[in-house]
Amino acid sequence: MFLFLSFIFPELKHKQNFFSMINDKLLNPGSIVIVGGSNNKHKPGGKLLENILKGNYTGKLYVLNPREDVVQGVRSYKEVNELPDTDLAFL
């Protein structure tokens, strides 16, 4: 069906590439940032980070927390503009 539509509407072909890229970054991100990651595993940012670490995520993992230098063993950045390019952010 999509192939048929992209034949009739060639501009959809570029959208297919866009959606394919978005799906890949969501399902298989090479890097993740946890905004508000915490050492307190009872807070949402702390629990999320704990789950990612326990899940043996193999990509690059970053934390954004202005109050901490290291969160659960992961370097914490204090400012958004300090973060490296990242595929996926959890807010």
Is residue 42's pLDDT more than 90? yes
For residues 22-45, b (16+ Cβ closer than 10 Å) or e, as one string? Answer: eeeeeeebebbbbebbbbeeeeeb
- Only one residue has tokens 């670490």, namely 53
Q: What is the pTM of this model?
A: 0.74
Q: How far is the C-alpha of 11 from the C-alpha of 31, rounded, in Å?
A: 30
pLDDT digits (tens, 9 = 90+) for 8-25: 445 545 556 666 666 777
The pLDDT-based confidence of 27 (bands split at 50, 70, 90) is: confident
